[in-house]
Amino acid sequence: MSKPKIAHGIIAAMITPMDDEGNVDFKEMRNQVDRQIAAGISGVFTLGTNGEGYILDHDEKLKVMKAVIEEADHRVPVYVGTGCVSTTETIELSKQAEQLGADALSVITPWFAQASQEDLYKHYKALNDVIGIPILLYNIPARSGNSLAPQTVARLADLPNIAGIKDSSGNFDNILQYIELTRNKNFAVISGNDSLILWTLKAGGTGGIAACANVLPEIMVSIYKYYQNGDWEKAQRAQDSIRPFRNCFKLGNPNTIVKMATDLMGFPVGMPRAPFNSLPDRVVQTVQKTLDKYYSEYKK
């Protein structure tokens, strides 16, 4: 039995809109789902890094995933971040996401405590054994402190529900090794670093889960479309055009900058939950100037 086809194209790593008190704004969340679908996105991913899954409580997570799944209404696949520190809690949240109608799970490695490669293998295998929808591994060692080695990913790729991996390490050689070791396993390797999407596609990967889609969804979608149509020059131009905005990430917490930029684009998504909810005025001004430049130069 072949694995379902997931993690292809450009998937929006969606933010979670919040009001001034830090409460989830479900009305705006549904609006953002519709906005992404209208832009031609291949899927929406909620409760990831940009979705502030790390700071929402269990009940909030259930409400968020329910709202996104309902609003998407089978128009595009919905990916739900369900990774927790413990295997038990990860399984519990994953089962609830499956029951609510998630199309696939994105499961970050456990964090804070160091895990061996065998620990990580057993963690994901335990989830594989009780879940009936595709599981996308999520490697982001700078945030989690644990990295999935290529050899471990190759082992996990043999399990029936482990359908792919999102790599946000920023290490392109890591992506290459994932591709090389799973090439004949019907396994998707997708970039979690927006700057590497086109290069991942060219190397045999399947697309990107893009934070920048919150700000520039049409541009992100065009990278994949141009590539699929064989127009390398336009695909490269689209990929290069996000560099000015990506350069803003070094000015503060990237998640905060993405949310601020989305707000500056005219969408009332608010700031992240405290303590990650502020940026200096000079950074806000730089982001605004960058967005202005995007409109004048890159969206022609």
Residue pLDDT, tens place only, 170-209: 899 999 999 999 999 989 999 999 999 999 999 999 999 9
Q: Which residues lie below 8 Å from residue 62, measured CB to CB, with a gap of 6+? A: 96, 100
Task: Give the per-residue pLDDT at 6.
Answer: 84
- The model's pLDDT over 59-96, given as tens digits with 9 standing for 90+, comes to 999 999 999 999 999 999 999 999 999 999 999 999 99
The pTM score is 0.93
Taking the CA atoms of 264, 267, 269 and 270 in sequence, report the sign of the dihedral they define.
positive
| Interatomic CA distance for residues 174 and 239, integer angstroms | 20
Residues of the chain with pLDDT under 70: 1-4, 296-300
Task: Give the count of beta carbons closer than 10 Å to the beta carbon of residue 139.
Answer: 25
Task: Give the per-residue pLDDT at 296.
Answer: 64
Active site residues: 138, 166
Domain layout of the chain by residue ranges: 9-234
Task: Give the per-residue pLDDT at 2.
Answer: 52
Q: Decide yes or no: CATH 2.60.40.10 for domain 9-234.
A: no
> Distance from first CA to last CA of the chain, Å, rounded?
46
Q: Which residues lie below 8 Å from residue 181, measured CB to CB, with a gap of 6+? A: 150, 151, 153, 154, 157
Task: Give the per-residue pLDDT at 222.
Answer: 97
Would you give the distance in Å from CA 176 to the centre of its chain?
A: 19
Task: Give the per-residue pLDDT at 4.
Answer: 56
